[in-house]
Structure 1
Amino acid sequence: MSLYKAETRRLVKRRFTKLFVFCGLLVLAAVAAGVFLTNHKASPEIIARATAEAQENYQRSVVETDRIIQECQAAQGTAQATNFPPNCEITPPQQSDFDPRWYMPPTFDFRESFPEMITTFAAVLALVAYIVGASFVGAEWSSGGMMNLLLWRPRRMQVLGTKLAVLLAGMTGLTVVVGALWTAGFYLIAQTRGSVDSMTAGAWQSFGLMELRALVLVLLAGALGFGLASIGRHTATALGVAIGVIVVLQFGLLAVLGMANVKFPEVYLAPFWIYAWLNKEYVSQDYTSCDVSPSGGCLPETLTITWQLAGGAMAVLFALIVGGAMWTMRKRDIT
């Protein structure tokens, strides 16, 4: 049996892999079920009911406004006049202020809402990939399996590289299959509980590219977990780094940056870079440096993180962690 086939069998047969893949799929299924149950299709009956409710609230607001204007006019020349605007300048409500859509139950518009579902899908599978990748190589180091494997195939770089290739191939297959089912499932949800009327060829292309970037994010997460566990030679190393980054570096750094009034604190936080990668850009605004516009509004200074910039940062992170794992595999003793 070839090394690649042996590692593929080991990855697929591991109970830890099956457990976390199952947990990830269970979370995604719960999200899809929640969206299905909380959204409703805009049927003619629902539209009519919402229109009637909007009209009723409009009429009620008109009556209430007329009453306040009459009270204001009656209070002129008395001490109570200060409770009302000068000259009773009260703007009556407009019909457009009562949009029937605001009185309708939530409806799942595929074009508007599906990008958020892709982000959720990417986050869940990236977490699964990170943990599975860390365990896949970490368990080999902590159990002595890596040393035994190198006795059979004494080529360090080939062994570690093959393990990484198997992990990335497995996560690619899982992400593509689950992603296709995820897209089809939410398209059906939109057909039954929302709308797909606004979908165009350009929208489908945009979703396809976003899902491709989600795949890259999942593979990066798997590679980082794999690399960190290999450097530390234990699964706990990767998990400890993840906890440290999330709890200490992210929340702690955010608090420090806030107290220091640092401009654009989001630039130092990983979630915003991930958002920029998936959604093509993230615009950070600094409201402490407002420039007053001719219309009198505030024009804050902005800084944009593009998906190209985020992708470059991800590539550097991949090179550092995976490169470090390969370097330690080659230089350190296998004991």
Structure 2
Amino acid sequence: MSLYRTELRRLTKRRFTRWMTLAGVLVLLAVLAGVFLTNHKIGPAERASAERQAEQQYQEQIRWAEQEKAACVQGQAAGTPKDGRFPPDCEMISPPPRDAFQAQWFLPSTFDFRKTFDDTLVPFTAILALVGFVVGASFVGAEWSTGGMMNLLLWRPKRLTVLLTKLAALLTGLLTLALTSAVVWTVGFWLVGTFRGTTAKTTSGAWQSFALTGLRGLLLVLTAATIGFALASLGRHTAMALGGAIALAVVGQFGVGILLSMANVKFVEAWLLPTYALAWMQKKVTLENWDSCNNVSFSGECKPETLDITWQHSSTLLIGGLVLLLGAALWTMRRRDIS
């Protein structure tokens, strides 16, 4: 029997894999349903309602200005002391112009597929990456903790072949899940745009941009699963990967962020992993340092210092971490005793 087929079947038959996959799919469906319910299709009725609300706000400002002006005139006639509420000249009190109240401000939220779908791929990737990390760690961690790895090596004594075949089966299963979910996610949001927004101007260029973002997301999901797999293999227990992830999130992220903020380090986000994950998905993240106003325009506007984190920076970090952890897992698999 093929080792690869055996491992793939073992992966799909595990209850933890099924429950974790189901949980991830339900979260994705909840996000999709939430977006559907909180958006509305804009039609003539909605635009007319927005125009009425804008006019109502304008009329309220006119009445408020008239009341304030009358109070100012009355106060000046009575000779009451000025408390800073009114200007020296009551004629200065006037309502804002009508064009300051735009109807589009009062329109309900609507889903523009071309402008928004690319952003929805970020939470989609984050949820699948979490599923992949946990499933990958559990898939190999359970083998070590229950003694299944030792029994398997009696049948196939080639250690690296066994470990890499397990990883290949994991990535194959996760790839199938990610591609299937991506199709459902895309169709779902296309329907959201059709019934709760617009799908206009979705050109072939937009679809190519979506595909490239989705490809980067897929690579990030597979990388997260591989890292979880490698950590659990290093520690020979699922808790090694989960504990390492929690320690990294609590100590390595929140702790470092707090310490750097207290030390007034510029661009604290540049030291945090989520920044690089976001830069990988969006191609570039621009960090701003508002404590610095070195470049001040003649109008007095503050232009903060900026730092660009690009997908090239993220790829270097991801590849380095992947090679380091997976290489260490393979090395320990070959060198350490199986007991």
Pairwise same-fold verdict (TM > 0.5): yes
Rounded Cα–Cα distance in structure 2 between residues aligned with 1:198 and 1:73: 55
Any gaps of 5 or more consecutive residues in structure 1? Answer: none
* Residue 293 (structure 1) aligns with: 297
1:90 shift after superposition: 4.1
Where in structure 2 are the equivalents of 1:1-335 lying within 5 Å? 1-76=1-76, 78=79, 79-80=81-82, 82-88=84-90, 89-90=92-93, 92-291=95-294, 292-335=296-339
* Change in 2 beyond 3 A, CA 1:283/1:13: same
Please say if residues 66 and 94 of structure 2, whose CA atoms lie closer than 8 Å, have aligned partners that are also in contact.
no
- What's the C-alpha RMSD, in Å, of the aligned pairs? 1.6
State the distance in 1 between where 2:203 and 2:47 align.
Answer: 25
Counterparts of 1:281 and 1:178 in 2: how far apart (Å)?
25
Q: Provide the rounded CA distance (Å) in 2 between the counterparts of 1:152 and 1:314.
A: 35
Write the deviation string for residues 30-84 of structure 1: whole angstroms up to 9, x where unpaired.
Answer: 1111111111111211111111111111122123223323433454484237322
Over the matched positions of the two proteins, sequence identity in percent amounts to 51
Secondary structure, aligned partner of 1:257: helix
Query: Is the CA contact 1:134–1:227 (under 8 Å) kept in the aligned structure 2?
Result: yes
Change (3 A) 1:86 1:297: farther
Q: What TM-score do you get using the length of structure 2 for normalisation?
A: 0.94
What is the Cα deviation at residue 205 of structure 1? 1.5
The structure-2 alpha-carbon separation of the partners of 1:332 and 1:298, relative to structure 1 and needing over 3 Å to count, comes to same
1:288 Cα offset (Å)? 1.5
The answer on whether the counterparts of 2:129 and 2:222 sit within 8 Å (CA) in structure 1 is yes
Q: Distance in 2 between matches of 1:126 and 1:279?
A: 16
Structure 2 CA distance for aligned equivalents of residues 113 and 17 of structure 1: 31
- Give the structure-1-normalised TM-score: 0.96
Counterpart CA distance in 1 for 2:117 and 2:16 is: 31
Report deviation, 1:184: 0.8
Aligned positions, number? 335
Letter of the 1:323 partner, please give it.
G
Letter in 2 for 1:310: S
- Structure 2: distance between partners of 1:258 and 1:86: 46
Contact 1:28/1:124, CA 8 A, preserved across alignment: yes
Query: Unaligned regions of 5+ residues in structure 2, if any?
Result: none
